[in-house]
Chain A
Amino acid sequence: MHPLLTHLRGLVAYLSAWVLAGGLLALAWQPEAPAAWTWRLGFLLPLAVFTGMAALALYPVCRSFPFRPARWPGLLARRAVAVGVLALVSGAAAALWNSTGLRWGRDGLVTLPPPAWLALLGVLVVVFAVSALVHDALLAQQALQAAAANEVQARLMAREMELKALRKQLDPHFLFNSLNSISALIPLDPAAARAMTVDLAGFLRQTLSLGERERIRLDEELDLVQHYLAIEQRRLGDKLQVAVEADAACRRAWLPPLVLQPLVENAIKHGIRPLERGGRVDLSARRAGERLVLPVSNPVDAQAPRDATGLGQGLRHLRTRLQTQYDEPAVVDVERTADRHTVRVSLPWHP
């Protein structure tokens, strides 16, 4: 159904315009055998309203066969047929209505020679063709708006996915093991149990709140990493040592949240844990030209097979995340020597 038909004020305005057009035409019209203007009005006003209503019938045609440049001949033909049929129907209606004048002993409401009837038919064709054009234009604009809304929707969804992916980085294995460690500490060292609870809460809170933001300062990320490391140090004891190196300028630089934390997590999971004596995780930040470079390195068991599962997936995930965040390339590369594994993230420098 045409949208105007459910919109009363719009419909009234639309038909009023047609009535006005019919009235003006009746006043301006000077036919060969002139009837009084009242007869002309009697003929033209109903005809104008009828034509106005008939013009709306082009809406379903334009909507069902939206205009596509690739298929223009067929689409144009359909519109031409619709316009032609409507013009003939309206012309026939006009003739029928005119013949009601016979009742009053006249030839018709108005007397029209054949050329005038042809001219009327021509006018009707033009009116319906214009109606088709207007409908096409309005539908095209609606489609554009819908596409724009879709794009906004798609962007929102992408952002949502990103947030979900970030939440996933809260490794359940880590969380439950930490709770278990706290449970173990309670009778042994209540103060340490409390400190660990506070660290775990700080880590959770920061992961959740930083994940909501698009950019954070490196300082905030390092803070989160410190909470994480404090928990791991309590669990692993002397096995885990950490060295962090970042100057004040780097600490103020902006980057997406949770870039370093997963790298540190990997370094502990795949580097420190399997080593009997453990080792040191080195974490640093430096500026290289217009880039912020973040290397994270850990010792590895030189004899161990290189089948560090999970690491590959985590890095791929980080790479994709950074790609969606930056137009310029963000680089994640891996270097393995005999006994050390280094992951280096390089991001555009944003002071």
Chain B
Amino acid sequence: MTLRALIADDEPLARALVREFLAAHPQVQVLAEADNGLEAARSIQDLAPDLVFLDIQMPKLTGLEVLQLTGLRRGVIFTTAYDQHALAAFDLHAVDYLLKPFSQQRFDAAMLRAGQLLRTGAPEVERLVAAQTLARVLIRDGTELRVLLLDEVDYIEAQADHVAFHHAGRDHLKAQRISELEAQLDPRRFVRVHRSFIVNLRQVHALERTESSGHAVRLKSGKRIPVSRSGHERLLAVL
């Protein structure tokens, strides 16, 4: 069986090293290389590789963000030189990773382990990714993939089985359920004020009363968002 692989690392030499070590694994065919996180996310979505060598510290998106944003969980082999924060998270969730510089033997062991997990799935990667709060989202702008900083988003609205991110007067649709998204957000920054709405607290101007003695949130942009009773409680708890 051929395994189709992607190598994501911002350093050409680091990618060359992975290619060299892959020579001992003829079943692996390198589909593409990516030199930043956004490029890696694009390749994952377009090519659906079986195996991804993923560096943690990359420009544009970190390796963990690439997983968060693409939903990729299987066949990931993390590589990193030194990143205390990421290493602590890996160890906490018992996720395997290659510490640069690594040997062919260590590389082979990681390949063996990844090969086994391809069949069984990797729940530890699932847990690792779930534990990270989301700071950016990947959106499709026409045919282009773009990164949207969540800090700059005004509010998020549920639309059927999509969510719409409202940013600078525009809507960006993404196929995701709002409750699933809510769980990934920083609860001190984003509050689900209504069944269909999550607001960014940084963009909130005021909390207002409606004529029907309910509540609404007035955003800095002037937009008014309805607030449900339980949403009001959640809002008060954070404020």
Residues of A within 8 A of B (CB): 172-173, 175-177, 179-185, 187-188, 234-237, 273-276, 305, 307
Contacts and interface: CB of A to CB of B under 8 A. Distances in A.
A180 B82 CA distance: 11
Given A172-B82, A173-B82, A176-B81, A235 B60 contact: no
A176 B100 contact: yes
A234 B14 CA distance: 12
Category for how many chain B residues contact A: 20 to 34
A184 B20 contact: yes
Interface of B: 10-14, 16-17, 20, 35-36, 57, 59-60, 81-83, 99-102, 149, 151-152
- The 6 A-B pairs of least Cβ separation, nearest first, read A184-B17, A180-B100, A176-B81, A274-B59, A180-B101, A184-B13
A273 B14 contact: no
B19 to A, nearest CB: 9
A185 B101 contact: no
A276 B101 CA distance: 25
Given A180-B100, A235-B13, 10 more contacts: A173-B82, A176-B82, A177-B14, A180-B102, A181-B11, A184-B20, A275-B59, A276-B35, A305-B149, A305-B151
A237 B149 CA distance: 30
Nearest to A275: B59
Nearest to A236: B11
A193 to B, nearest CB: 10
Contact of A274 (B12, B60, B151): B60
Contacts of A305: 149, 151-152
Contact of B17 (A172, A180, A234, A273): A180
B13 A185 contact: yes
B13 A187 contact: no
Given A180-B100, A187-B20, A273-B59, A173 B83 contact: yes
Contacts of A185: 13
A307 B101 CA distance: 29
Contact of A176 (B17, B59, B101, B149): B101
Given A184-B13, A274-B59, A177 B36 contact: no
Given A273-B10, A273-B59, A184 B16 contact: yes
Contacts of B60: 274
23 contacts: A172-B81, A173-B57, A173-B81, A176-B81, A176-B100, A177-B11, A177-B14, A177-B81, A177-B82, A180-B11, A180-B17, A180-B81, A180-B100, A180-B102, A181-B14, A183-B17, A234-B13, A236-B11, A273-B10, A274-B59, A276-B35, A305-B151, A307-B149
Residue among A173, A175, A187, A237 with the most chain B CB within 10 A?
A173
B13 A181 contact: yes
A177 B100 contact: yes
Residue among B35, B99, B100, B152 with the most chain A CB within 10 A?
B100
Given A173-B83, A179-B101, A180-B81, A276 B36 contact: yes
A173 B81 CA distance: 6
A309 B100 CA distance: 23
Residue among B11, B60, B152 with the most chain A CB within 10 A?
B11
B21 to A, nearest CB: 10
Contacts of A182: 101
A237 B83 contact: no
